[in-house]
Amino acid sequence: MQSLFSDFRYAVRNLLKRPGFTAIAVITLALGIGANSAIFSTVNSLLINPLPFPQQDRVVTIWDTNPSRGVTHNEVSMADYLDWRAQSRSFEQLALERWWSTNLTGGDTPERVQGFLVTANFLDVLSVKPIKGRTFAEEENQPGKDRVAIITFSLWQRRFGSDPNIINKTITTNGITRTVIGLLPQEFNYPKGAEIFAPIALTPELIKSRSFHSYYVIGKL
């Protein structure tokens, strides 16, 4: 052990005497470690721990761009998404999602949960089907018909005690009563951390909006 400490002190003294060489060595190590981390992250996400849905090689994310501002990955406006969906020839389907943090009430205590507002075909694009109940219907994106929800397996276990009769029960999100129509598979975790999904209400004002860029679009090739 004493020999190891002596070698370590000798190495440190030599590095301090040659700052140029030391800087190059540190930068080289940093670049090597960074590159290996990036490669491992990619391999881990695609091969070792892939996204929790089938046919993921056909699923892509679609972004807006704003070259004049140097923006290459921008969220999408609703009107642009609807135009893409109507005119696309490269995709079987295009779906839209938006972050939605909501207060879930009912039961002993209220709880803040992470959710997403989505178009009715969101799960179809991912080729995912609920293990109980059904997916969203197209008409449930209409205002007044959107008071339904699909929940994740983890929320079902934690909040509802794995109630086998959860389908068609009502829950309250931000003061709005919704009917639970579907329960997702246990392995499903996309977008990561999401626990509840509800249809986005396509109001006439929202359909025409091109200035409000806050939506993410996914497509199935």
Question: Kind and range of the H or E element at 212?
Answer: none
38, pLDDT greater than 50: no
CB atoms within 10 A of CB 18: 11
Tokens, residue 202 = 């396509």
Q: Residue 42's pLDDT band (boundaries 50, 70, 90)?
A: very low
Tokens of 136: 């969203």
* Model pLDDT for residues 165-178, shown as the tens digit of each residue: 999 999 999 999 99
pLDDT in tens, 68-98: 888 888 899 999 999 999 999 999 999 999 9
Q: Which of residues 35 and 82 earns the better pLDDT score?
A: 82
CA distance 181 to 154: 16
Tens digits of residue pLDDT in 156-204: 999 999 999 999 999 999 999 999 999 999 999 989 899 999 999 999 9
What are the angstrom distances between the C-alpha of 142 and each of 79, 84, 118, 149, 169? 15, 19, 12, 14, 21
Q: What residues form DSSP beta bridges with 74?
A: 64
Is residue 93 exposed (0-12), middle (13-18) or buried (19+ Cβ within 10 Å)?
middle
Q: Tokens standing for 213?
A: 């860029």
Rounded-to-integer distance, Cα 136 and Cα 168, Å: 13
